Chains A and B, each alone.
Chain A
Amino acid sequence: MASKSQQAEHYFVPNPVIYPVIVSLGLLSLASGFIFNVNNYAAGGWMMLVGTILILSMVFKWMGSIIAESEGGLYKKWEDKSFRVGMIVFICSEVAFFAAFFGALFFMRVISIPELASFDPNFTMYKDFVANWPSAGPGGVVLGKEYVPAKFEPMGAWGLPAINTLLLLTSGATVTWAHWGILKNNRRQLVLGLFMTVALGIAFLACQAVEYHHAYTEMGLTLGAGAYGASFFMLTGFHGFHVLLGTIMLIVILLRSMKGHFTAQRHFGFEGVAWYWHFVDVVWLGLFVFVYWL
């Protein structure tokens, strides 16, 4: 809440910038390129490339100017609070995004699959379908006159996924340890903690890549494997994508820490990323329980 002392301050209003417009143009190009691509029009790939380059270069510059402003001492307590509140709200919106996919998973598992199996066999086209989970749904292939349900193996919880859980939980601890470091102004601890976190993040991604490869090549578990396959890959995929982003941001923070950025009092950049990392961590726990385990 605004207090007397802030009233004398000037709130930092950045100068006009061109980056946002160009990012938007990049997104337009990326999106339409993607659409052309999936609809088999030739120009799509090029448009996606141009869009990606525009976006990445602008994000790079935009973040660069934020870092410069931060180091230039333009952000004080007042601005800092804006960033904090903003980050919290942003993470809430991410929660809602994942909620949609969890919602889809629960809906199919609890409502639509049992319902499909419950119809009167005299009337339904899916006579032989029994509800169980994991399920790829009633529609299989008809070979000759025989009906064969789609075949796949579900992903067990206690192999790689359990290791991944350990990796992520540990990384949550190391990033907190790094935070203690900066609070004590112990920069060695900060850098070391961040380094370990990044390493754990990368290890997680590597395990997930192995897991996906295994699923596609040996288990018949693909995006097309009905309700289970779709929700499995969309949930873990979007989560993995968030881990990737988080890792990249952690790397940036690590490099900044090595350059001597952040102080014990002012380190929103670090904390924002740490919050994001914890959020990704919590989502994983949800995934582990509801996608892999139960």
Chain B
Amino acid sequence: MFTQWFKNRWMLLISVLLSLHAHAEITWNFPTPATPMAEDTLHVHNKFMLIVMVIFLVVLGIMIYSIYNHRKSKGFKAAKFDGPSNKSQLIWTLVPFAILLYIDFILMGIPAYHSVVAMEDTKTNADMVIKVTGSQWRWQYEYMDGDAQGLKFVSNLKTSEDEIYNKTDKNPQYLLDVDNHLVLPVDKKVRVLLTSTDVIHNWWVPAFGAARDAIPGFLRETWVKIDKPGVYRGQCKELCGKGHGFMPVVVEAVPEADYKVWVEAQKVKLAAAAEGANKEWSKDELVAKGKEVYAKNCQVCHQANGKGLPPAFPSLVDSAIVKGKIFDEQGKLLKDSHLDRVLNGKGVMPAWKSVLNDVEIAAVVTYERVDFGGMSDTLQPAQVKALR
């Protein structure tokens, strides 16, 4: 079996190598820029690469010449010199030094200066502001002004476990696909604020040339101004725990008119969801909805069967918290109760209060109590809403 495994891999490798140059996907440089900043970065990068390549080739050339010509086997006798001693040799050292100074601080230093200043100029002429919040292991987007103000949603990885564990074929956007894209209008300067709820993440889209850390408790910012409509993909690039490889960033840039339409549609959806919090839900409805929510948000840590991965992630099956009371006699939320834990989190366990809406929280708690705790009570969205 093992040899078979190896044989397959080797065959795979060989066929891959053969088809290498025919592959259109392989890129040898930065992806095509979609913002002025990425454009700038690409230029700077190309220029610097050229410079260091030239330096490298010069150094290499001298060495090869020496290795070839100054061999003992060719009978070459060692010359006698061991260091600068007179004026002409001083010049010999000063001139290259000046050239290096020129390369470092003029040739490379000046364009670098301009790019840095442009990159940090987040506020002037900004057309809109969005806030991006990193959490283990998803991004949350919030529109801070304009028509879309108040619009807020979570963006989760869409790739299925089966794809990751090689049980089905991988789709072309493997690991780079999410359920809710961030939608932005083209040709608008968007100021992007970043923060995090747990550890440091880094919001990065290569085609934008923008990468910035999202730091818990602090605000960081960057900006994008997308030239062309399209879907742009990136990834979190600061190690943030076991799901670090699984929190892609997907931005969909659309013309302004389409953007307006999208915003209206989102608002309608939001209103419907808020409406849902007022109605009475049946147990089955809640469990069905909760199962969905669970699979999307909780399963990474607590696993599909609810058994978790102790000791890091506790099991919800037979958990005293899941089986315990939620409200006390006066109807106040008990500390360290099931709902308290889900709303406010603890340590590694994220706080879901600002991530999930009332219906989702009520549903997932009900689902856990029924499926893992063997209970039969329900938690109504209205009860959650009352706590906000």
Contacts of A138 in B (CB 8 A): 217
**B131–A125 CB distance below 8 A:** no
**A125–B217 CB distance below 8 A:** yes
From A28-36, A102-110, A114-122, the one touching the partner chain is: A114-122
Beta-carbon contacts under 8 Å, B44-99 to A = none
Name 13 interchain pairs, CB-CB below 8 A, sorted by A.
A115-B218, A116-B218, A119-B218, A119-B219, A120-B219, A122-B144, A123-B129, A123-B131, A123-B144, A123-B219, A125-B217, A126-B217, A138-B217
List the interface of chain B (C-beta within 8 A of A): 129, 131, 144, 193, 195, 217-219
**A123–B193 CB distance below 8 A:** yes
Closest beta carbon of chain B to A130's beta carbon, Å: 16
**A116–B131 CB distance below 8 A:** no
How many angstroms between the C-alpha atoms of A231 and B218 in the bound complex?
20
In the complex formed, the residue of A with least CB distance to B145 is A122
Contacts of B144 in A (CB 8 A): 122-123
How many angstroms between the C-alpha atoms of A228 and B276 in the bound complex?
47
Cβ-based interface call for A263 (8 A): no
How many angstroms between the C-alpha atoms of A120 and B218 in the bound complex?
11
In the complex formed, the residue of A with least CB distance to B311 is A39
Cβ-based interface call for A93 (8 A): no
How many angstroms between the C-alpha atoms of A123 and B144 in the bound complex?
8
Contacts of A126 in B (CB 8 A): 217
Contacts of A124 in B (CB 8 A): 219
Contacts beyond the supplied A116-B217, A123-B193, A125-B217: 6 A-B pairs with Cβ under 8 Å? A116-B218, A120-B219, A123-B131, A123-B219, A124-B219, A139-B217
- The 8 A CB mask of A115-155 against B (1 = contact, 0 = none) is 11001101111100000000000110000000000000000
In the complex formed, the residue of B with least CB distance to A124 is B219
Question: Chain A interface: which size bin?
Answer: 10 to 19
Closest beta carbon of chain B to A112's beta carbon, Å: 8
Among A115, A123, A126, find the residue whose CB has the most chain B CB atoms closer than 10 A.
Answer: A123
Contacts of B129 in A (CB 8 A): 123
Contacts of B131 in A (CB 8 A): 123
Contacts of B195 in A (CB 8 A): 125
In the complex formed, the residue of A with least CB distance to B219 is A119
In the complex formed, the residue of A with least CB distance to B221 is A123
Closest beta carbon of chain B to A169's beta carbon, Å: 41
Closest beta carbon of chain A to B146's beta carbon, Å: 14
6 closest Cβ pairs, A-B complex: A119-B219, A123-B193, A124-B219, A123-B219, A123-B131, A123-B144
Contacts of B219 in A (CB 8 A): 119-120, 123-124
How many angstroms between the C-alpha atoms of A139 and B217 in the bound complex?
9
How many angstroms between the C-alpha atoms of A87 and B189 in the bound complex?
60
Closest beta carbon of chain B to A224's beta carbon, Å: 16
In the complex formed, the residue of B with least CB distance to A118 is B219
Closest beta carbon of chain B to A73's beta carbon, Å: 46
Contacts of A122 in B (CB 8 A): 144
How many angstroms between the C-alpha atoms of A116 and B220 in the bound complex?
11
In the complex formed, the residue of A with least CB distance to B216 is A125
Contacts of A115 in B (CB 8 A): 218
- The 8 A CB mask of A75-87 against B (1 = contact, 0 = none) is 0000000000000
Contacts of A116 in B (CB 8 A): 217-218
Contacts of B217 in A (CB 8 A): 116, 125-126, 138-139
How many angstroms between the C-alpha atoms of A138 and B219 in the bound complex?
14
How many angstroms between the C-alpha atoms of A236 and B218 in the bound complex?
29
Closest beta carbon of chain B to A140's beta carbon, Å: 13
In the complex formed, the residue of A with least CB distance to B354 is A125
In the complex formed, the residue of B with least CB distance to A139 is B217
Contacts of A139 in B (CB 8 A): 217
In the complex formed, the residue of B with least CB distance to A126 is B217
How many angstroms between the C-alpha atoms of A120 and B129 in the bound complex?
12
How many angstroms between the C-alpha atoms of A255 and B131 in the bound complex?
67
How many angstroms between the C-alpha atoms of A273 and B219 in the bound complex?
49
Closest beta carbon of chain B to A264's beta carbon, Å: 48
Contacts of A119 in B (CB 8 A): 218-219
Contacts of A120 in B (CB 8 A): 219
How many angstroms between the C-alpha atoms of A94 and B193 in the bound complex?
41
How many angstroms between the C-alpha atoms of A209 and B179 in the bound complex?
58
Beta-carbon contacts under 8 Å, A163-222 to B = none
How many angstroms between the C-alpha atoms of A124 and B193 in the bound complex?
10
Closest beta carbon of chain A to B351's beta carbon, Å: 11
Contacts of B193 in A (CB 8 A): 123
How many angstroms between the C-alpha atoms of A55 and B382 in the bound complex?
63
How many angstroms between the C-alpha atoms of A16 and B182 in the bound complex?
69
How many angstroms between the C-alpha atoms of A119 and B193 in the bound complex?
11
How many angstroms between the C-alpha atoms of A174 and B103 in the bound complex?
59
Closest beta carbon of chain B to A125's beta carbon, Å: 7
Among B129, B144, B193, B217, find the residue whose CB has the most chain A CB atoms closer than 10 A.
Answer: B217
Closest beta carbon of chain B to A119's beta carbon, Å: 5
How many angstroms between the C-alpha atoms of A119 and B131 in the bound complex?
13
In the complex formed, the residue of B with least CB distance to A115 is B218
Closest beta carbon of chain B to A115's beta carbon, Å: 7
How many angstroms between the C-alpha atoms of A120 and B195 in the bound complex?
13
How many angstroms between the C-alpha atoms of A125 and B217 in the bound complex?
7
In the complex formed, the residue of B with least CB distance to A122 is B144
How many angstroms between the C-alpha atoms of A124 and B219 in the bound complex?
7
How many angstroms between the C-alpha atoms of A52 and B304 in the bound complex?
46
Contacts of A123 in B (CB 8 A): 129, 131, 144, 193, 219
How many angstroms between the C-alpha atoms of A116 and B217 in the bound complex?
8
Closest beta carbon of chain A to B18's beta carbon, Å: 52
How many angstroms between the C-alpha atoms of A116 and B216 in the bound complex?
11
Closest beta carbon of chain A to B325's beta carbon, Å: 21
Closest beta carbon of chain A to B200's beta carbon, Å: 14
How many angstroms between the C-alpha atoms of A126 and B218 in the bound complex?
9
Contacts of B218 in A (CB 8 A): 115-116, 119
How many angstroms between the C-alpha atoms of A116 and B218 in the bound complex?
7
In the complex formed, the residue of B with least CB distance to A138 is B217
Closest beta carbon of chain B to A127's beta carbon, Å: 12
In the complex formed, the residue of A with least CB distance to B131 is A123
How many angstroms between the C-alpha atoms of A126 and B195 in the bound complex?
12
How many angstroms between the C-alpha atoms of A122 and B193 in the bound complex?
11
How many angstroms between the C-alpha atoms of A119 and B195 in the bound complex?
12
Closest beta carbon of chain B to A280's beta carbon, Å: 36
